[in-house]
Structure 1
Amino acid sequence: MNEVVHTSPTIGSNVEEVIWKNIHFLMWDIGGQESLRSAWNTYFTNSEFVILVIDSTDRERLSITKEELYKMLACEDLKKAAVLIFANKQDLKGAMSSAEISQQLNLTSVKDHIWHIQACCALTGEGLYQGLEWITNHIRR
C-alpha cells in the first residue's frame, strides 16, 4: 500500500487492517511453514476471501501449494469464500506466468469457489490493486 516493507517469513500470524476505497479489510498473514499449517483452520471462521500469495519462481513447492489450497477449499468454514491468488515476483527472470501457475494448480477444476489469479510484483505494487479491485467486486453485501 505505497510502502516497501522488508519482510521475513511469518512466525505464527500477523493481523493488519487495510482500508481501501472505504472498505475495511481485516487481513491475517498466517505463516506457510509446515509446522504452522495445522493451525490455519483456526483463522477460517467468517472469512469471505482467501488470498494466497505464491512465489512465481518457486516451481519446487508448487505441488505443496496445490495440496494445501485444496485442503483449505474443502474446509466447511471456507465453503463460501472466494479465492484470490497473487502470482508474486513476476519481475524476476524465470517466473512462471499466472496462466502456468493456474494450469499447475488445476484451477479450472475449482467449481464451488469463485477464484481469480493475479500476476503481481509486491516490490513495485504492480497487480496488487487489480487484485483488491477483484475482491471489492465480489464482496457479499
Structure 2
Amino acid sequence: MPAKEARILIVGLDGTGKTIILYRLKLEETITSISTIDFNAKTINYKNISFTIWDVGGLIFVVDSNDRDRIGEASEELQRMLENDEFKGVPLLIFANKQDIPNVMNTTEITEKLGLHSLSNRNWYVQATCATSGDGLHEGLDWLSNQLENVE
C-alpha cells in the first residue's frame, strides 16, 4: 500500500499524447490512439506514492515535440495555467512527447521555447518521452516523486 497520495493533473494541447501516457502508466500497455471526450482519472501506484492523475489540466504538461507550429501556443497555455494561484510553487514536469519521431525538438529546445528558465519560483523538469513505448515516463515520475517526497 502506498505511503503517500499525490493528486497530479496532466495537461497539454490536443493531440500531444496525454491520454496515451495516462493509459500507458496505468495499464503498462500500448494504446496508439484514443480521443478523449469525457473525464479521465486514474490512480497509479509508483514508488510508495499513490498518484491520482486527472486528464483535464495539470502539473504534468505534455508537449508534442514534433509540432513546431504549435509550441508557441503550448507556451502561452502553460504560462496562463501557471498564473493560477492554485499552481503557485507546485513542481512542474514537462513530458516532451513523441521523441520516437526523427528530427523532433529536443529537451533543450523545448525548455527554451516554453521559457522555463524564467520560472524562478518553482522546480521544473523536462523529460523526453515516447508515450507509445513508455520510454521516459518512469524517469519523469521518478523526478516528480522526489519533488513530492521533499515537500514534507
Match status 1:132 vs 2:141: yes
Deviation at 1:22, TM superposition (A): 1.9
**Which residue is 1:9 aligned to?**
35
**Which residue is 1:37 aligned to?**
none
Higher relative contact order (CA 8 A, sep 6+): 2
Aligned residue type for 2:109: E
Match status 1:68 vs 2:70: no
Deviant stretches of 4+, over 3 Å: none
Q: Which runs of 5+ in 2 are unaligned?
A: 1-24
TM-score by structure 1 length? Answer: 0.82
TM-score by structure 2 length? Answer: 0.76
**Which residue is 1:51 aligned to?**
60
- Which of the residues 121, 125, 129 maps onto 2:130? 121
Contact 2:32-2:132 at 8 Å conserved across structures:
no
Deviation at 1:21, TM superposition (A): 1.4
Deviation at 1:12, TM superposition (A): 4.2
Percent identity for Structure 1 against Structure 2: 40
Match status 1:25 vs 2:48: no
Aligned residues: 124
Q: Which runs of 5+ in 1 are unaligned?
A: 31-39, 41-48
Deviation at 1:137, TM superposition (A): 0.5
